[in-house]
Amino acid sequence: MKVALFIPCYIDQFYPDVGLATLQVLESVGVQVDFPEQQTCCGQPMANSGCMSEARPLAEKFIDTFAGYDYVVSPSGSCVSMVRNHYDHLVSASDRQATLVRRQTLELGEFVVQVLGIRSLSGVFPHQVGLHQSCHGLRELRLGPCSESMTARESLLQLLLGSFTGISFSQLQRKDECCGFGGTFAVGEEAVSAMMGEDRINDHLQAGTEVLTAGDMSCLMHLDGIIRRRALPIRVLHYAQIMAQAMQQAPDARQKRTANTGQH
Amino acid sequence: MGHPALAADFTADRERARWHDRALWFVREKRDRMATGVPEWEKLRETASAIKRHTQSLMSDYLQQFEENATRHGAVVHWAADAAEHNRIVLSILQHHRVQRLVKSKSMLTEECHLNPFLEQHGISVIDTDLGERIVQLREEPPSHIVLPAIHIKKEEVGECFHEHLGTEKGASDPKYLTEAARGHLRSCFCEADAGLTGVNFAIAETGGIVICTNEGNADLGIGMPKIHIACMGMEKLLPRAADLSVFLRLLARSATGQPITTYSSHFHGPQQGGELHIVIVDNGRSEILQSEFRQALDCIRCGACMNTCPVYRRSGGHSYESTVPGPIGSILTPLQSPAENSTLPFACSLCGSCTDVCPVKIPLHHQLFAMRERLDQQQLIGTGKKLQMKALSVVLSNTWLYSLVGNMARLALRVLPKFLTQNPLTPAGQWARQRELPEAPRKSFRQLYAERQQKYKNNSPDSQT
C-alpha cells in the first residue's frame, strides 16, 4: 500500500508539530508514508474567493503530485473536502488519474477507521477534551452525526479519541456550530467571524474544556487566536497531536489493530 | 454599504446580537425536535426535492393546467413578467373597484415588487395584517426575516411603538396585552377594508386551487369581509397534485417554527359567492433562474429555516443583507437579480453547510453560495484588491520553491518585525489581528523538519554505515 501524506500549506508553515504528529500516528499503526515535497496547497483559498482560474493550477499540481499513490492522507477535513468535492470545475471528469486521486484522498480519521479498520487505539490522555466539529469534515465528509440531519452517523474523531484511558468529553450547548473561521471569511467578515469564535469558546468554557481539539487546524488557529488574546485557560491541540501524545503513553508503542472490517 | 460593515454595526452591540442569536437558535432547536419526531424526515425532504425537480422540468405545462383549472372555478388569472407589471395589475384591479383601503397578509413577493409604496403613491392605504409585519410597517422599516418579520425587535420596543401608534399604556411590554391591542386595532382594519390581498404558499395545477398558510388567521379574516381577493404568487409556488401537499405541509411549519403544522392552512377554489378572486402569477426573473445552474434556488418554500440556522444571519441580523429575502437563500436569489449591488452577500457565509442540511427541499445552499462567488468573479465583482491577492497567492503556491521561500520569509518577518508592521490594519493580517492573535511563527516548517528527519534516518540506517 503506497500512502502519501498531504500537509496543508498553513500547517506546513505554522503548525509543523501537527504534521509530525500525523506522521507519528500513521507510523505507529504500521503505515509507512511518503511526503512528496513538491506539494503546496489544495487551492481552497482561491476557490472559496470565487477565483477558479487562480485555483486551477493548484488543483492540477495536486493531482500531479499525488498520482500513483493508493491513498493520500491529510490531517484536514476541509482540504480533503476541497479535493474530493470541489474539484469538479477545476479538473476534467474524464481524467481517470484525477478521479482516482480525488477519490483516494482521505482525512486522517477516515483512513485510520475506514481503510485500516482500526476502531480503538491504546493510549492515555487524562484530560477533559472539547471536541470542535469542523464543518467541512462534518457536513461535507460526514465524519460524524450532524445536528441538522436526521441520518444516524458515527463520529470518527470521538471513536478514536474515546478509546484513550482517562479522556472525557465536554458537553456543549451547541455541539456542532461553526467557529467562524471560514477561510477568507475570517478577514472579510471579521466582526461576525470573531463573535462566532467568541461564542464557541464561551460554550467550551462553561463546559469545562481543558483541551480544545478539532480535525481542522484552521478552526483551531482562529479559536486559539482569541484564546491567546484573552489569556483564557484552554489549551488547543489538533486531534492528531492528542493521538500522538496519548499513544506515546501506551504500554505497547506499536498499536494493535483491533478490528479489520474497514474495506475502503 | 455592504454586508461586512452593517454586520460589524450589529455585532458591536454584543448584548443585542447575542439576544438575537439566542432567539433564532431557540427556533432552530424547536425545528430539530420536530424533525426528530418524524422517522421518515430525510425521506420527506428527498420526496419534496424530487417533486420540485419534476414540476420545474414541466413548469409551463403545469402553469397552463393551473390557469385552466383556476379559471374553471371562476378565478381570474393574470400574468406579470416583472415587478412593475405586477404592481400595475394589482393597481388596476383596485382602481376598477374604487378600493381605498387594502388589507394584506404576508407576501414576500409583494415585498420583492415594492407594492406597498407603489399603492400608497396612488392614494390607496395598505395595512399589513400579520402582527410582525404590522409592527415593522408602523416602525417604517422592512421585515428582517421572511417568517418572523419583527424578530429583531424587543417587546419593550414594540410597547413603545404601540404606545405611539395604537395608544397602549406607556411602558407596557406584556406580550399578551400588546397582542390584544393589535387584535383590536386589526379587527377594525379588517371591517373597514374594501379588498384583501394575500400571498400564496402552494398553487395546485391539478385542482386550480391555492393554499395559504398562516398562524394568525389574518389571511382568512382579510378576505372574509371584502368581496375582492387578490392572491399574488411567484410562478415557482406550483405543485402538480393536491396529494403533494401531504409532503410540503408536513415540512413547512416544522422547518419554519417547529410546529407540526401551521394553525391555518386554508384552501381556496374560486371566489366567494358574489365576489372576485384574482390570481397574479409573477415571473420577475424566475424563468432566467430556471435556466441557470441556480435553478434549485427556486425550490424554496420560504420557511426561513436557513436563516434560523445560519450562524452569520443570527449574529448580523436580517437588515444587514439589505435584501427582501435575507440569509443564505437570499444571498443566492438577490445577487441573481442585481449582482453589482449585492456582491458582498455570497461572502457573508463561512460555508459551514448547516443551511444545506436544514433545508426541507434540499437546496444545496452552501454549494450554490460557493458557485455564486465564481459567478461574481466572472462578472468582475469580487473587488480588485481581493482578485490581485488571489492572483499573487496562486503564483506563489504554484511554485514549490517560491512557496517555501515566501513561507520562510513570512515566518521570519512575523518573529522579528514589530507588530505595527506585521499587523498593519490595512492588511489581511491586521484585520485578523483586530480581535485575535496571529499564529506563532515556528523557526522551521514541517517540510524542513521532515527533511532533517529523513536525513537522520538515512545516516543511521545500516546502508550508510557499511
For residue B45, the domain's CATH number is 3.40.50.10420
Residue B242 within a domain = yes
pLDDT in tens, A4-60: 999 999 999 999 999 999 999 999 999 999 999 999 999 999 999 999 999 999 999
Tens of pLDDT along chain B (466 residues)?
799 999 999 999 999 999 999 999 999 999 999 999 999 999 999 999 999 999 999 999 999 999 999 999 999 999 999 999 999 999 999 999 999 999 999 999 999 999 999 999 999 999 999 999 999 999 999 999 999 999 999 999 999 999 999 999 999 999 999 999 999 999 999 999 999 999 999 999 999 999 999 999 999 999 988 899 999 999 999 999 999 999 999 999 999 999 999 999 999 999 999 999 999 999 999 999 999 999 999 999 999 999 999 999 999 999 999 999 999 999 999 999 999 999 999 999 999 999 999 999 999 999 999 999 999 999 999 999 999 999 999 999 999 999 999 999 999 999 999 998 889 888 899 999 999 999 999 999 999 999 999 999 888 876 655 4
Residue B451 within a domain = yes
Distance separating alpha carbons of residues B281 and B272, to the nearest angstrom: 20
A115-140 average pLDDT score: 98
A183 and A218 share one domain: yes
Q: Give this complex's ipTM.
A: 0.95
A8 and A111 share one domain: yes
B231 and B107 share one domain: yes
Instruction: Write out residues 18-77 of A within 8 Å (CB-CB) of B.
Output: 18-20, 23, 35, 37-41, 43, 45-52, 54-55, 57-58, 61
Residue B371 within a domain = no
State residue B463's pLDDT score: 63
A22 and A68 share one domain: yes
Residue A253 within a domain = no
- The domain total for chain A is 2
User: By CB neighbour count within 10 A (0-12 exposed, 13-18 middle, 19+ buried), where does B197 fall?
Assistant: buried
Residue A158 belongs to domain spanning: 128-248
Say if the Cβ atoms of B353 and A135 lie within 8 Å: yes
Say if the Cβ atoms of A192 and B447 lie within 8 Å: no
Q: How far is B261 from chain A (nearest CA, A)?
A: 19
B137 and B279 share one domain: yes
Residue B266 within a domain = yes
B384 contacts chain A (CB < 8 A) = no
A133 and A196 share one domain: yes
Of A49, A135, A222, the CB nearest to B436: A222
State residue A263's pLDDT score: 42
A132 and A95 share one domain: no
Identify the domain boundary among A64, A85, A115: A115
To the question of pTM greater than 0.90 for the whole model, the response is yes
B44 contacts chain A (CB < 8 A) = no
State residue A219's pLDDT score: 98
Residue B183 within a domain = yes
Identify the domain boundary among B226, B256, B284: B284
Residue pointed to by grid coordinates 420545474: B56
Q: How far is A57 from chain B (nearest CA, A)?
A: 6
Q: How far is A38 from chain B (nearest CA, A)?
A: 6
User: By CB neighbour count within 10 A (0-12 exposed, 13-18 middle, 19+ buried), where does B259 fall?
Assistant: middle
Beta strands in B29-158 (DSSP E): 76-80, 101-104, 125-128
Please determine, for residue A261, whether its predicted confidence score (pLDDT) is greater than 50: no
A147 and A237 share one domain: yes
Q: How far is A194 from chain B (nearest CA, A)?
A: 7
Say if the Cβ atoms of B374 and A191 lie within 8 Å: no
Residue A29 and residue A118 in contact, taking contact as beta carbons nearer than 8 Å = yes
Identify the domain boundary among B267, B284, B301: B284
Chain A interface disruption, residue of B14, B397, B402, most A CBs within 10 A: B397
- The domain total for chain B is 2
State residue A86's pLDDT score: 96
A91 and A154 share one domain: no
A70 and A140 share one domain: no
A106 and A191 share one domain: no
Residue A261 within a domain = no
Q: Is B288 left (phi over 0), alpha (psi -120 to 50) or beta?
A: alpha
Say if the Cβ atoms of A177 and B374 lie within 8 Å: no
Please determine, for residue A148, whether its predicted confidence score (pLDDT) is greater than 70: yes
The radius of gyration of chain A from alpha carbons, rounded to an integer in Å, stands at 18
B280 and B408 share one domain: no
Say if the Cβ atoms of A191 and B7 lie within 8 Å: yes
CB pairs under 8 A between A and B: 215
Chain A residue at shortest CA distance from B438? A225
State residue A252's pLDDT score: 58
Specify the higher pLDDT residue, B227 or A259: B227
B197 and B51 share one domain: yes
The CATH code of the domain that includes A202 is 3.40.50
Residue B176 belongs to domain spanning: 38-284
State residue A262's pLDDT score: 41
A153 and A236 share one domain: yes
pLDDT in tens, B71-123: 999 999 999 999 999 999 999 999 999 999 999 999 999 999 999 999 999 99
* Cell numbers placing B373: 462567488
Residue B282's φ and ψ, nearest 5 degrees, are -115, 140
State residue A249's pLDDT score: 85
A138 and A27 share one domain: no
Residue A94 within a domain = yes
A152 contacts chain B (CB < 8 A) = no
A65 and A139 share one domain: no
* Type of residue found at B421: L
Residue B210's φ and ψ, nearest 5 degrees, are -120, 150
Residue A146 within a domain = yes
Please determine, for residue A170, whether its predicted confidence score (pLDDT) is greater than 70: yes
Identify the domain boundary among B284, B308, B340: B284
Residue A147 within a domain = yes
Identify the domain boundary among A88, A115, A142: A115
